[in-house]
Structure 1
Amino acid sequence: MACAPPQKDNGGAQTQSGVKAAEATSAEAFGGMDGLVTAAKAEGELNVIALPPDWANYGAIIKAFSDKYGIKVNSAQPDASSQEEINAANQQKGKSASPDVFDLGQAVALANTSMFAPYKVATFDTIPAKFKDPNGVWVNGYGGYMSIGFDSAKVPPITNVDDLLKPEYHGKVALNGDPTQAGAAFSGVVMAALAQGGSADNIAPGVDFFGKLHQAGNFLPVDPTPATIESGQTPVVIDWNYTNAAETRKLPSWQVVVPPDHAVAGYYFQAINKEAPHPAAARLWQEFLFSDEGQNMFMVGGVRPVRADQMAVAGTVDKAAFSKLPSIDGQVVIPTPAQTEAATKYLADNWAKAIG
C-alpha cells in the first residue's frame, strides 16, 4: 500500500515585511528580489505541471531557472491539459506534490481564478492591460497562432481548413486535445468556425465542421504528441504554430500553415496556485518568466512573449528570435473573455454530440 505524499506548509514562512510568503503580492514583501531569491532557495523546489519540453521552449526555460537559482524543478504530467492541471491541484491540495504554478488556456484559467494568488512581477507595468488582471491574479505569458501541421511525405499539401475534408486525409487529422479542456483544441475549433463563416461569437460552424470531419472518417481521435507525429500515426495536426514548428527540427518533411484568412491567436495564462507548497519559488518562477531573459527564451521557442513589443522598443529583445516570429497581414482574432465563456458553454453542450 502506497503512502500518501507528505503534507507541506511553507505558506506560513514569514517574509522580511512580516507577510506570509503565500500572501506576498510582490517581491517588495521579501525586501526586494534578493530576499525573494533567498526565500525561494530555502524552499529548494518548484512544482510545475503540463509543460512539455518542446512546448514554447519550456525544456530550456526549466533548466535555465534551475541552474540560475539552484532550485530543483519537479515537472509533472508534461502532456496534461489545462483542465488536468486544475484537477491535479484540487486532488493534491495540501500535499508537497501539488502544483505551485499554472500555465493555462484562457477558458480554463478564467473559470478557476479563485484558485490563484495575486502577484505582480517586477515588469508588471510593462505588460499591456488587456493581457493581465489588474491585480496580478493572472498574466498572459506568451501566445501564438492556430495552425495546421502536416507531413508532406505522407499527405498532399494543405493550404486551408476546408482541405481537411478531402478523401486524401481519411483517418489522418488530429486535434491537440479536447476543446472542452485544452486551450489549443479550443482555438482549433474557433479557427474552423471562422473558416466556415462563423466568428468568435458563433463557434457553432466550427463544431459542425468537426462533426463533418468525423462523419467523413477523417477525424482521428488521438491526442497528438511528438511521438505520434514522428511515427506517422498523426500525419495532420491542428495545434499552435510554435508546437507544430518544433517538429520541423526533427522531421524535415513536417510543414506548418497558418490559414491567413482565418487567423486565430491566443495567449496562455500564468498564475500562482494560492495553495502552492513552495510559494516563494512560485513567485520567483513568475519573475523569471516575465523578465527579459525568460521572455527571450519563450521567443526562441517560436512563441510571441507578452512583452515582445515593449522589449523591442527598449532594445532588450533577442533580435534574431524576434525576426523569426510569424506575422499575419490580415485580421487576427483573439477571443475576448466573454466570447470564450460563451464558447466554452456551447462546447460543453455540443462537442461530444458532434464527434460521438
Structure 2
Amino acid sequence: MSRILLRRALGATAAVTVAALALAACSGSADAGQSAGGVDAATATNVAAFGTFEGLEAAAKAEGQLNVIALPRDWANYGEILDLFAERYPDITINEQSPDVSSAEEIQAAKTNEGLDTAPDVFDLGLTVALKNTDVFAPYQVQTWADIPDALKEPTGLFVGDYGGYMSVGYDSSKFAAPTSLDDLLTPAYKGAVAINGDPTQAGAAFAAVGLATVQSGGTLDDYQPGIDFFGSLQKAGNLLKVDVTTATVASGETPVVFDWDYLNTAHQKDNPAFKVVVFDGTGYAGYYNQAINKSAPHPAAARLWQEFLYSDEVQNLWLKGGARPVRMEAMTDAGTIDATLAAALPEAPAETVVPTEKQSAAAGTLLGEKWATAVQ
C-alpha cells in the first residue's frame, strides 16, 4: 500500500520537506482568488457562487493547477482517484506534493508557504488535527452536502468527513497466530513485533489505535488513559516496535503486526498474501478522514472543484473500491447508486461501534500531548 504511514507520523524529514517547498516556491499569483467571470473563488462557499457547476469547472480550468499534499497513491485508492481527475480535467495539472507527510505537516506546509503558488490548495486530515486548525480552512459545502451525516461534518463546511473504516490489527499469519484481544499482543509471542501508524499526537491512525485500545480495555472515549496505559504496557513488555510502517516493511516482515485502519491493513495483502486483518470482537472504533480547503489556496476554484469531485457518486464508489467506507454510503445505498458488489465485500462491522465526538477528540489530543511520550519512552 505504500501510503507510507509516515503520512500520519511526524517524521524527522518534516522540516526538510517544508523548507524544500519554500525554497522551490515562487511568488503567488496576484490574481489568486479571482476566477473566470470575475468570481472571487476564494470566498465561494458553494457552487452557486460560480453560477453553475460548469462555471466552477471553467474557473478551475482557467487556474490550470491543483496542489495536493499527503495523498499516497496506495492509500484508500487515491492513485485511481487522482488519475481520474487528471483524465477528466486535462487542463488542470495536479501537483502531488510530499505524499507521505502527516496531517500536522500538511498544516505546517500551508503556513510556511502562505502567499506562494506552491502552497497546498486542499488537505486530507485526521480529526484531531482538523479540530486544532479550523483557522486555516475556508468553508465550502459541496452539492451532495445533504447526504453527509451531520456528525461527520463541520456545520459551515470548514472540514468534512469523506472516507473511513475500523481500527484493526494486521498480522503476518505465516509468523503469528491471529490475535483475538489486546492481551494477546502483550505476550512473548509478539516480542518486538507490534507497530502503530506514527505518533498519536500527530497522526490520525495512531490516535485511533489508542482509542481502540481504550474501548477494548473497558474505557470510554471520554478518557483515553486506558489506551495510553495499554501501549505503555506494550512498550514495557518489549513488544512495541518503533518503526514507521510502509509497504516495504510489511512485505519484508520488518513490521509484522500493525495497528491501522482495516482498509489500509487489507491493502498490504497485495504485497504479502499471508498478511491477515482482525477487527476485534466487542466495541469497535471507527473514524473518518476529513477534506478541507486552504483559505489561502493559490488555486481556490480548483480546490473547490476537487471537493465536488471527491463527494460525487463516482469517487465515493472509488473509496469503496479501496476498501474504505465512503461518507455518503447510506444515502447512496438508499438511492441505488452505491456499488453493491464492493459494499458486500467489506469486512463485517463490529456489533457496537464508537466514533469520538469533536469534544472527545480534542480532550484526547490534549491528554496524549501530556502523557504519550512518557508512557512509551
TM-score where L is the length of structure 2: 0.91
Q: Does 2:123 match 1:123?
A: no
Which position in structure 1 is the counterpart of 2:220?
Answer: 199
Which position in structure 2 is the counterpart of 1:62?
Answer: 82
Give the superposition deviation at 1:75. 1.5
Matched residue pairs, number?
A: 354
Give the superposition deviation at 1:182. 0.6
Describe how 1:132-171 pairs up with structure 2 within 5 A.
132-171=153-192
Q: Does 2:84 match 1:53?
A: no
Equivalent-residue separation in structure 2 for 1:327 and 1:155 (angstroms): 22
The worse-fitting range, judged by mean Cα deviation, of 86-95 and 285-294 is: 86-95
* Structure 1: gaps of 5 or more residues: none
Give the superposition deviation at 1:46. 1.0
Paired residues of 2:142 and 2:311 also in contact (CA < 8 A): yes
Paired residues of 1:50 and 1:76 also in contact (CA < 8 A): yes
Paired residues of 2:35 and 2:301 also in contact (CA < 8 A): no
For the residue of structure 2 that corresponds to 1:260, the secondary structure is coil
Paired residues of 1:15 and 1:21 also in contact (CA < 8 A): no
Which position in structure 1 is the counterpart of 2:275?
Answer: 254
RMSD between superposed Cα atoms in Å: 1.3
* Structure 2: gaps of 5 or more residues: 1-19
Equivalent-residue separation in structure 1 for 2:33 and 2:204 (angstroms): 34
Give the superposition deviation at 1:262. 2.8
- The residue type paired with residue 231 of structure 1 is S
The worse-fitting range, judged by mean Cα deviation, of 194-203 and 232-241 is: 194-203
Which position in structure 1 is the counterpart of 2:249?
Answer: 228
Which position in structure 2 is the counterpart of 1:44?
Answer: 64
Give the superposition deviation at 1:125. 1.6
Give the superposition deviation at 1:84. 1.1
Paired residues of 2:68 and 2:122 also in contact (CA < 8 A): yes
Q: Deviations over 1:163-220 (max 9, x none)?
A: 1111111111100010000110000001111122211112111101111111111101
Give the superposition deviation at 1:329. 4.4
Q: Does 2:63 match 1:35?
A: no
TM-score where L is the length of structure 1: 0.96
Which position in structure 1 is the counterpart of 2:370?
Answer: 349
Q: Does 2:92 match 1:89?
A: no
Q: Percent same amino acid among aligned pairs?
A: 54
For the residue of structure 1 that corresponds to 2:94, the secondary structure is strand
Give the superposition deviation at 1:288. 0.4
Equivalent-residue separation in structure 2 for 1:227 and 1:262 (angstroms): 31
Equivalent-residue separation in structure 2 for 1:72 and 1:259 (angstroms): 43
Q: Does 2:206 match 1:185?
A: yes
Equivalent-residue separation in structure 1 for 2:288 and 2:235 (angstroms): 28
Equivalent-residue separation in structure 1 for 2:65 and 2:371 (angstroms): 42
Paired residues of 2:247 and 2:271 also in contact (CA < 8 A): no
Q: Residue 173 of structure 1: which of 176, 189, 194 is its match?
A: 194
The worse-fitting range, judged by mean Cα deviation, of 193-202 and 277-286 is: 193-202
Which position in structure 2 is the counterpart of 1:313?
Answer: 334
In the TM superposition, structure 1's runs of 4+ consecutive aligned residues that sit over 6 Å from their partners are none
Which position in structure 2 is the counterpart of 1:211?
Answer: 232
Which position in structure 1 is the counterpart of 2:16?
Answer: none
Equivalent-residue separation in structure 2 for 1:253 and 1:98 (angstroms): 41
